[in-house]
Amino acid sequence: MQNQHDAFKDERDIQTDFKEKMTYSDYLGLDTLLNSHHPLSNHHDEMLFISVHHVSEIWIKQILHEVNSAIQDIRAHRLSTSFKKLARVSVIQDQLKQVWDVLATLTPAEYMEFRDSLGSASGFQSYQNRMLEFALGYKTEHVLKIYEHDPELRDTLQQAHDAPSIYDVSIQALAREGLPIDEDVLNRDVRLTHQSNESVKQAWLTVYRNVDQYWELYELAEELMDIEDLFQQWRFRHMKTVERIIGFKQGTGGSGGVAYLKKVLEQYFFPELWELRTEL
Ligand code: HEM
């Protein structure tokens, strides 16, 4: 049996000339990725603080990639193709949630050593998080003011804000299956957050009461539930981790801190999917 030593016995097998060839680092852009830590203090723990934000943003990027593609699938009547992507989103969300366990190892005393150097920088300004909220249907146009200093980014965000959410295209899918949906919901202004609607709730209730007949819509509903449930769990862990680290201090972004983070927990993306549970 070949052991590790044998595998490296003939050193001529090892690729060493990379003048004309792509390396692992080239392919992954590691120079940029690994040189993106710019601590503003000399404190040991600032590195962790930066890393957990980087990891989170990378996962949000992947989630956006999947959700936006799933929106196109649902729009184009390819529900089953969207399921694979949406299921992947939930697994990534699980990873995102675990970031809080790592961050919770940062004590208040450690964080206070470098918090002042953050100035007014805050996760509140995470534009990817806003794009994800828009894709899921929570539309807050007022936050776009934050990005006025960067017109190109602001335009990208405006487009994301103005586009139909995954819930809009899912409601259209209900109507396509012949389930009655109010015209004003089908033709609604998608730049606004969807408000709970009785015809949508009744349509989803029909799906849940006839799962064999509406299997794909039922599966879609449960995928959406997984995503919203995990999003809320992420928000909850964020809120509790923040309370653990800064208590009830004001946020660096200017909000009331934990009080604000508790408030956003009341926001629903897919309200009828939650409401129907009481009526089944
Ligand atoms: C010690 C660590 C952290 C503290 C103390 C903290 C604190 C806060 C506070 C107080 C807010 C409210 C806005 C403000 O006034 O600043 C906020 C918002 C936010 N934070 Fe954090 N945060 C931390 C880590 C993170 C991490 C790792 C992420 C990952 C991306 C993150 C993402 C966000 C997002 C997306 C918002 C906006 C939430 C919304 O508007 O619904 N935060 N954070």
Domain membership of residue 183 (yes or no) is yes
Per-residue pLDDT, averaged over 154-169, amounts to 98
Domain membership of residue 194 (yes or no) is yes
Domain count, the chain: 1
Cβ of 122 closer than 6 Å to ligand 1, yes or no, is yes
Cα-based distances in Å from 56 to 70, 92, 165, 167: 21, 10, 22, 24
Domain membership of residue 178 (yes or no) is yes
Return the best residue to mutate from 122, 231, 234, 248 for the ligand 1 pocket (most ligand atoms within 8 A of CB).
122
Tens of pLDDT, residue by residue over 201-236, are 999 999 999 999 999 999 999 999 999 999 999 999
Domain membership of residue 1 (yes or no) is no
pLDDT at 8: 62
pLDDT at 42: 94
pLDDT at 19: 86
The atom number, within ligand 1, closest to the CA of 143 reads 40
Per-residue pLDDT, averaged over 155-171, amounts to 98
Going by C-alpha positions, the residue among 49, 136, 47 that lies closest to residue 100 is 49
Cβ of 217 closer than 6 Å to ligand 1, yes or no, is no
pLDDT at 1: 52
Domain membership of residue 52 (yes or no) is yes
**Structural domain of 164:** 42-279
Averaged pLDDT score across all residues of the chain: 95
Residue ID of nearest Cα to ligand 1 atom 4: 242
Domain membership of residue 110 (yes or no) is yes
Domain membership of residue 37 (yes or no) is no
- Rounded distance between C-alpha atoms, residue 172 and residue 71, angstroms: 11
- Statement: residue 68 has pLDDT above 90: yes
Domain membership of residue 142 (yes or no) is yes
Return the best residue to mutate from 93, 134, 144, 238 for the ligand 1 pocket (most ligand atoms within 8 A of CB).
238
Domain containing 115 — which CATH number?
A: 1.20.58.480
Determine what percent of the chain is predicted with pLDDT higher than 90: 93
